[in-house]
Structure 1
Amino acid sequence: MKEIMKNRTKKFALDCWILCSKLPKSREFNAYVSQLIRCSSSVGANYRALQRAKSNADFINKLKIIEEEADESHFFLELLYDVSSLQNLKLDNEFIPLTQEANEITAIIVSTLKTVRNKS
């Protein structure tokens, strides 16, 4: 499961980057695009760091960071989707799977957090 999530979170970051490369280059879009690229890549980077947690507390802290970054990614995907729709960009096929993936990653991390906390 660890390797699957490691690959999945990396793919999520790459897919967000690909989506962002299709969006218009403007000051307004660039602000949200930069945020999405940062938080989506942080999901994968922090999941990778999770594998090297030094203690149970460090493990939980890293999980909480991943949860926040995945939720933030979801927010910026929603925001960019809404703005793109206003601009008639027709990118539903790109946004919908990424939004679902952000939700699923968040749910997996929340579930893991509950499990780890119950064992402590």
Structure 2
Amino acid sequence: MSKNIVLDKSFNFGLDIIKLYLRLKSEKEYILSNQLVRSATSIGANITEAQYAQSKKDFVNKMNIALKEANESEYWLKLLWRAEIISDKDYKLYHDESSQIKALLINIVKNSKDRI
């Protein structure tokens, strides 16, 4: 049985962001952290859906949506960081995680499109 790296990374990223969200919520930051947790957890949800896609085009579509959600997550992280709501250390950690996921998704989408 092969390991699905992008699925594992997206799941772990979602968990990490949920923990960040709970911490920020306890600090009374609701708006940006809510947007972040929604987009970050959506990455793994779309990758999971893609595993049972009805066609190759459906697979690419779900993975593209996951890529868009990863990109959106980076936006919310950057806003939280630039507004000095999260530390430089937190920003770097979460941004690095999302960047790795984005790189994997870009590669998957490109290779999948080439096969269609």
Q: Which residue does 1:117 correspond to in 2?
A: 113
Q: Which residue does 2:4 correspond to in 1?
A: 3
Change (3 A) 1:93 1:84: same
Task: Provide the C-alpha distance between the structure 1 equivalents of 2:14 and 2:58, rounded to a whole number of angstroms.
Answer: 23
8 Å contact from structure 2 (residues 6, 105) kept in 1? no
Task: Provide the C-alpha distance between the structure 2 equivalents of 1:46 and 1:2, rounded to a whole number of angstroms.
Answer: 17
Q: After the TM superposition, which residues 67-106 of structure 1 pair with which residues of structure 2 at under 5 Å, given as runs?
A: 67-84=67-84, 91-106=87-102
The alignment of Structure 1 onto Structure 2 pairs a total of residues equal to 113
What letter matches 1:12 in structure 2? F
**Structure 1 residue 2 displacement after superposition:** 5.0
Q: Which segment is superposed worse, 3-12 or 65-74?
A: 3-12
**Structure 1 residue 84 displacement after superposition:** 2.0
Q: Which residue does 1:18 correspond to in 2?
A: 19
Task: Provide the C-alpha distance between the structure 2 equivalents of 1:2 and 1:66, rounded to a whole number of angstroms.
Answer: 19
Give the unaligned 5+ runs of structure 1.
none
Task: Provide the C-alpha distance between the structure 2 equivalents of 1:82 and 1:54, rounded to a whole number of angstroms.
Answer: 41
Give the unaligned 5+ runs of structure 2.
none
> Helix, strand or coil for the counterpart of 1:41?
helix
8 Å contact from structure 2 (residues 40, 70) kept in 1? yes
**Structure 1 residue 93 displacement after superposition:** 2.1
Task: Provide the C-alpha distance between the structure 2 equivalents of 1:64 and 1:113, rounded to a whole number of angstroms.
Answer: 7
